[in-house]
Amino acid sequence: MISDESVWALAIHGGAGAGSQEAGAEEHAAQIRSALADVLRAGARMLAAGASALDVVEDAVKRLEDSPLFNAGKGAVYNERGEHELDASIMDGATLDAGAVAGLRTVKNPIVLARLVLERSPHAFLIGEGALAFAERHGVELVDPSYFGTERRRAAFEEAKRREVLHTPSSRPGDTGTVGAAALDAHGNLAAATSTGGMTNKALGRVGDSAVIGAGTFASNRSCAVSCTGHGEMLLRATAARDVAALMEYAGLDVQTAADKVIHERLASLGGEGGLIAVDNAGRVSFAFNTPLMLRGAVTHCAAPRVAVLAAE
């Protein structure tokens, strides 16, 4: 039975990167705030009713995948061929079970498939054709690849092709959007989930940190749940998500200190840019990022939803 004193918390993010001075930037930021707030309110209702952290992070990321405002699911960026390749992962802090998928082209909600991999596959990570076959066997909703495209992402892709650049988190103002969630439920269990379309103009077959357990996603009831966003290659090398938990478990650091050390020391030492959200096993929420902008928000059993976009907010 869930009591009024039950402790729970949810943190979400919608990517990290540079600020934008483009026309319509303020309106776009307002839309993002509204979308994040809606997700937090839905998650709060679920957690207050006793839902599991695993269900809550899946639902939060699915809602963000369904929004064209973010680089995950609908609104995903284009690779070098003008196609979409989607990645996602999810982890249960109670059991350390995990599911990850990469290189998806027609799965409407990659996080739903990642959850199914966690629960119904003897494997932890499926990619490409094998992931699609698994999706078809389990009745996961499929869409035409055109579903994922938006005018904003197409314009960014065409700009990147014209300039012959690969977009890293800070190379294009406002070009953020990887999504993630971390939660503690009223039963004391943690979970984390992350989903992305990757980098604009990325190489065919490129996979960043978002689908990799320990890099972009990690959860353990011993310490915390973490979801990362930013320059995937550097977050992979830093094993960023797991390092936050490791610093808590082995060095005795609190969640904010551990998160800051991973982002501002370890990631920065590699020349990487990005950020992370974390929730520890006492319900404390942490944000850390070394970019001007990180789309983020949180709600807890004792605090109303709060959303921020820029570093100063």
Burial class of residue 158 in the structure, from the number of CB atoms within 10 Å of its CB (0-12 exposed, 13-18 middle, 19+ buried):
middle
Active-site residue flag, 178: yes
Phi, psi of 233 (to 5 degrees): -60, -40
What is the dihedral angle through the alpha carbons of 78, 144, 73, 202, rounded to the nearest 10 degrees? Answer: -20
Residue type, 183: A
Helices vs. strands in the chain: H and E counts, helices first: 9, 12
- Active-site residue among 168, 176, 178, 194? 178
Q: Which of 202, 178, 189, 141 is nearest to 275 (CA)?
A: 178
The residue whose two tokens read 């109303």 is 304
Alpha-carbon span 290 to 272, nearest angstrom: 9
Q: Where are the alpha helices (DSSP H) in 83-163?
A: 110-120, 128-137, 151-163
Helices (H), the chain: 25-48, 53-65, 110-120, 128-137, 151-163, 232-238, 240-251, 255-260, 268-269
The answer to whether 61 and 111 have CB atoms below 8 angstroms apart is yes
Residues identified as active-site: 178
